[in-house]
Structure 1
Amino acid sequence: MLFPAPSHNHAQCTAELISRAERTCERRGARLTGQRRDVLSCVAQSHQAVGAYDVIERMAAQGPRPAPITVYRALDFLQAHGLVHKIESRNAFVACSHPHDGKPAALLICEGCGTVAELDAPAVFGAISDAAAGQGFAPHHSMVEVSGQCGACAGRA
C-alpha cells in the first residue's frame, strides 16, 4: 500500500529518510549540513505536506528560529537531491518516501487526512513526454498531483 497505516511506526520512516539522505549526499559529493538535516527532519515529521513557515515554527520549537531564506535554501537543496517534493498546488513540501532515481512520481493527496503518497507511474510520464515532444516541446520538469481520498478516509465516509 502506498498510504501508510495510521498506526505505522513513523519514527522508522524518518530514520530511513535521514539515512538515505546521508548516502545520497555522500554519493553526490554534496553536504547534508545540520541545518539541511533539521529542515528535512521537520518536513518528515509526517506524511502530510508542510509549508516553509510550518518548518520554521517546528524548528523554533526546538531551538533558535531560523530565517525564512535559510529554510527556503535548504528546501531547494533537498528538492534538488530528490529528498523532498514540492506540492505546487499547496506551495508545500513532503518528504520523498522512497528513492526513484530521479524518475518522476505522481503525488496522491488525500483531501481527508492530508496524507501524501508517491505513485511511480512511468507510463503516465512517458505519455506526457511523448505528447510534449509531438508538439516540439522539451519538458524539463513534470509533476502530477492527484487529489482524492485515501483508503482509510474513504472507509470512514
Structure 2
Amino acid sequence: MAFPTARHDHSACIQAALDAAEQECRRRGARLTDTRRIVLELVWESHRPVGAYALLESLGKLGRSAAPPTVYRALDFLLAHGLIHRVASRNGFIGCPHPGHAHGGQILLCTQCGMAAELDDPALDQEIVNSAARLGFSVNRQTIEVEGLCPVCRAQRNSEEEQNYVA
C-alpha cells in the first residue's frame, strides 16, 4: 500500500480490500460477518490509523448500534486473519493490502498529515529474524513503525523551504 496520490481512486481501493478480505476468509474457512465487513470498510475509509472508539462512533453514524466489545471482537478477528495491522504508537488500525501473504508489518507514518502506508520488505523481515536468532530469540510476529514525511508533505515542505530561501 503506497501513499495515495491525487489520482487515487479510494472507492476502488476500498472495494479491492473488501474483495481480498472475502477471498482470504473463504480460503481460511472463516466468516466475514456484516459487522466485521463494515468495521473493515471503516478502517479502510482513510489511509490513517483509526481507533476503536472512532470506529464505534462511525458505526453509530451509520445507524448501527454497537458496544465497544462488538468493535473489539471485530478488530480481533480482522487482526487474527491478517486483514488489518495494529499501529501501536497511534492506538489505531490500518488495512493490510496483503492479506493471505505472511509478512511482517513495516508501517510508514507521516508525522505531518497522519497518513500511513505499509512497506512489505521480505528482506527486512528476514534480517530481523536472523538477527534475533543470533541472540537466541525466536520471532513470532513483528511490526515496525517508522515516522517521517509522506511524499505530499515532503514536497510541500521542500516548496516552503524554496520560497523561504527566495524571499
Give the structure 1 partner of residue 83 of structure 2: 83
Secondary structure of 1:56's aligned partner: helix
Contact 2:24 2:99 in 1 (8 A): no
1:20 maps to what in 2? 20
In the TM superposition, residue 91 of structure 1 has moved relative to its aligned partner by 1.2
1:128 aligns with 2:128: yes
Q: Report the Cα offset of residue 100 of structure 1.
A: 6.3
Amino acid at match of 1:149: L
The 2-side partners of 1:49 and 1:7 are apart by 21
Q: Judge conservation of contact 1:57–1:65 (CA < 8 Å) in 2.
A: no
Structure 2: 5+ residue stretches without partners: 158-167
Q: CA deviation at 1:99?
A: 3.9
Q: Work out the number of aligned pairs and report it.
A: 157
Deviation at 1:89, TM superposition (A): 1.1
The aligned amino acid for 2:147 is S
Structure-1 separation of matches of 2:40 and 2:2: 21
Q: After superposing the two structures, state which structure 1 stretch, 64-73 or 30-39, moved more.
A: 64-73
> How far does residue 7 in structure 1 lie from its aligned partner after superposition?
4.2
Separation in 2, partners of 1:99, 1:68: 25
Counterpart of 1:119?
119
Alpha-carbon distance between aligned partners in 1 of 2:139 and 2:71, rounded to the nearest angstrom = 28
SS at match of 2:143: coil
CA distance in 1, matches of 2:133, 2:73: 32
Task: Calculate the TM-score normalised by the size of structure 1.
Answer: 0.95
Q: Which residue of 2 aligns with 1:52?
A: 52
What is the one-letter code of the residue matched to 2:114? G
Secondary structure of residue in 2 paired with 1:123: helix
CA contact under 8 A between 1:84 and 1:93: conserved in structure 2?
yes
- Larger radius of gyration, structure 1 or 2? 2
Question: Once the 2 structures are TM-superposed, how far is the Cα of residue 6 of structure 1 from its aligned partner?
Answer: 3.6
Letter in 2 for 1:109: L
Task: Tell me the secondary structure at the aligned position of residue 144 of structure 1.
Answer: strand
Partner of 2:119, secondary structure, is strand
* Contact 2:36-2:78 within 8 A present in 1 as well: yes
Flag the 1:30–1:68 CA change in 2: closer, same or farther, 3 A: same
- CA distance in structure 2 between the partners assigned to 1:129 and 1:98 by the alignment: 20
RMSD (Å), alpha carbons = 1.4
Unaligned runs of 5+ in 1: none
CA contact (8 A) 2:56 2:66 kept: yes
Query: Is residue 2 from structure 1 mapped to residue 2 from structure 2 by the alignment?
Result: yes
List structure 1 runs of 4+ shifted beyond 6 angstroms: none
Q: Measure the CA separation in 2 of the matches of 1:148 and 1:44.
A: 21
Distance in 2 of aligned mates of 1:9 and 1:121: 25
